[in-house]
Structure 1
Amino acid sequence: MDWEFDILYAIQSIRTPFLDKLMAFLSTLGNAGALWIVIGVVLCISKKYRRGGMQMLSAELLSFIVGNLIIKNMVDRLRPCQIDETVSLIVKIPFDSSFPSGHTLNGITAAVTLMFIDKRMGIPALVLAILIAFSRMYNFMHFPTDVLAGAVLGVVSAVFVNFLFKRADNKQ
């Protein structure tokens, strides 16, 4: 864990008032996966992207169940800010545990799913998801391995749901 704190302290060394505001905003965008859920619902409303919206919401649901409900409760890891309380925080400490990063999990799940649906939507979503993931370390809410695990689980969730949707298409 020492190497993870080394990375977090290095990130803390680049803090500025502007970055503090930007990173707090990015973290807020990722709260509860709301942004990604809204995008999924909007896609469902569109006739052209209805199936993609259902795929995105399905992937988000899977990643939430596996990551937030199962793994977070099994691992129950403290957040960096709960171990080192000397770092000045710019966002509120969430009530749940640190591993995996839910913000990263939701964002990467959505972005990878959007890449399957339409790369023109997926690429900006991926950039935003990566920025949100970085903000979680900048804000001292997650260790790098929390973010990495959230990203890996997000990719796996998106790929698995994409496989299921393609398989369902082939059976029709």
Structure 2
Amino acid sequence: MNILQSIDNSVFYFINGTLANPLTDVLMPFITVEKHWFVFYAIMWLYLMIAGGKKGRTVALLAIFLVAVTDQASSHFLKDWIQRVRPCHVLPGVHLLVGCTDSFSFPSSHAVNNFAGAFFFAHFYPKMKYAFYTGAFLMAISRVFCGVHYPSDILGGSIIGILIAWGITVLWDKINSRIKLT
């Protein structure tokens, strides 16, 4: 386990320190702040509800369920169970760009929620998949740039988010094959 933590620390310092520059010091905190991406998701949700037709309304309502599941799984179950301390609390010389909260580090809830959203929306709107995954990646990597997560926190969070979204889309596809809502 020590070798994995050593690799994680090295990759963390490479992203957080070596790759840091004036542009990332401004851009990454902007990307990582929840209220910025919440506005984007709220606008997207309203668009789906108003102009998305039957499919859009169904996807928008399913998205609420997805966020509830992913956020509870990451923030209220996995973090408390694993109890990994954030790098900004234990590593020296962290280039901290945002506040270091007292919540636990693994998995990154930002990564869980955004990769779940990327997989979920790509399932229903495959032509937009690259945009969804690019946004999720930028959100996730911003957490390392900002000094509040290890790379393995975002990798694990990404996998967890995709698996949860996959499960929900498989379940939805089975239900929808019977009742034909989308």
Same fold? TM cut 0.5: yes
The 1:146/1:157 distance shift into structure 2, 3 A limit, reads same
Q: Which residue does 2:80 correspond to in 1? A: 73
Cα deviation, residue 47, structure 1: 4.2
Q: Which runs of 5+ in 2 are unaligned?
A: none
Amino acid at match of 1:109: A
Q: Which residue does 2:21 correspond to in 1? A: 16
- Indicate yes or no: 2:20 matched with 1:27: no
Contact 1:43 1:52 in 2 (8 A): yes
The 1:36/1:154 distance shift into structure 2, 3 A limit, reads farther
Contact 1:72 1:98 in 2 (8 A): yes
Q: Which has the larger radius of gyration?
A: 2
Distance in 2, Cα, partners of 1:36 & 1:158? 19
The 1:153/1:65 distance shift into structure 2, 3 A limit, reads same
Distance in 1, Cα, partners of 2:159 & 2:178? 29
Amino acid at match of 1:55: L
Q: Which runs of 5+ in 1 are unaligned?
A: none
Distance in 2, Cα, partners of 1:56 & 1:117? 11
Q: Which residue does 2:140 correspond to in 1? A: 133
Q: How does 1:102-141 map to 2 (within 5 A)?
A: 102-141=109-148
Contact 2:86 2:149 in 1 (8 A): yes
Cα deviation, residue 139, structure 1: 1.3
Amino acid at match of 2:177: N
Cα deviation, residue 40, structure 1: 3.4
Q: Percent identity?
A: 23
Q: Secondary structure at the match of 1:162?
A: helix
Amino acid at match of 1:34: F
- Indicate yes or no: 2:10 matched with 1:3: no
Cα deviation, residue 97, structure 1: 0.8
Q: Which residue does 1:52 correspond to in 2? A: 59
Q: Secondary structure at the match of 1:156?
A: helix
Q: Secondary structure at the match of 1:99?
A: coil
Post-superposition Cα deviations, 1:77-101, rounded to whole Å, max 9, x if no partner, equal: 1001110243231111133210000
The 1:142/1:7 distance shift into structure 2, 3 A limit, reads same
- After the TM superposition, which of the residue ranges 37-46 and 59-68 deviates more from structure 2? 37-46
Distance in 1, Cα, partners of 2:6 & 2:168? 36
Post-superposition Cα deviations, 1:26-46, rounded to whole Å, max 9, x if no partner, equal: 111x46973575233542343
TM-score, structure 1 as length reference = 0.90
Q: Secondary structure at the match of 2:111?
A: helix
Contact 1:111 1:129 in 2 (8 A): yes
- Indicate yes or no: 2:65 matched with 1:61: no
